[in-house]
Amino acid sequence: MKNEPYHFFLSISASSLINPLMRRYTFLTHHLTEISRWTKEPHITILGFNSYIEPSVIKAVLSETLLSYRIAPLCATIDGCAGHGTTQMNCLLINREDARVLRQLRKRLSSAILPYVAHRGTFKKYLNYLFPIFHIAIGKTMSPANLETLASTLRGKSIETDSLTLEVRKGKTVLQETSLYLGMEEDVRAEYRVVYSTH
C-alpha cells in the first residue's frame, strides 16, 4: 500500500557485562529497549534488572521516577522466572525530542536503583550504555549510514557490542538488511532492539 510506513528494525547484540565477577552471580542479561514512532511519542520498554533487587522496590522506584520526569507508565508487570525477579515497565515518553529528560531519567534511575545493586559499577555501565542509544535514535530515521554512525559510537562504549543489524520493511516485505560485525564475542549477552517507523 502506497501510504504504508516503512519500519526500521535495529537489533544490537551486546557482549557480556565486561566485569568477570558478574558471571558468578545471577544477573538478568536480557535487556530489551524499544522505541516506536507509530505515534508522536515513542513507547519505551525497560526489561530486566538485577534479580537480587526486590521486584516491588524496582516497581516503586520506576513508577516514581517515570512520573517525576513526565514519563507516564502504561503498565508494570512482575514476572518470576527460574527464581529471577524480572520487571517490565512499558512507558510513554510525553516529549520525545527532549533529550534532557532522558539524561535526567538516567541520573534518577542510577541514583534510585544503585543502592539496591550489589555491583554498582557494572549496573552503571548498563545505564550509560542503554541511554545513549535513546539519544542517538530520537529524532532520527535510521539508515545504513546512520547505522554505521551508531556502530562507531558504540565501539567506544565500555559495554562491548558484537553486531548491529538494520532491517527495513514496507508491510511484510523486507526491503533491505544491513549487518555490521564489530568483532566481539562473549558467552553472556544482552540484546537491544529499537523499532522505528516513518510516516
- Please tell me the number of Cα atoms within 13 Å of 98 on its side-chain side: 13
How many angstroms separate the CA atoms of 34 and 16, rounded? Answer: 20
Closest CA to 114 of 65, 169, 181: 65
Q: Which residue range(s) make up the domain with 186?
A: 6-197
Query: Per the structure, how many domains does the chain have?
Result: 1
pLDDT tens digits, residue range 40-81?
Answer: 333 333 323 333 333 444 444 444 444 433 333 322 222 222
Residue 139 in domain:
yes
Residue 1 in domain:
no
Judge residue 184's burial from the number of C-beta atoms within 10 Å of its C-beta, 0-12 exposed, 13-18 middle, 19 or more buried.
middle
pTM: 0.24
Rg (CA), the chain: 17
How many angstroms separate the CA atoms of 29 and 136, rounded? Answer: 23
pLDDT tens digits, residue range 117-162?
Answer: 444 555 454 444 443 333 223 223 345 455 455 445 444 443 333 4
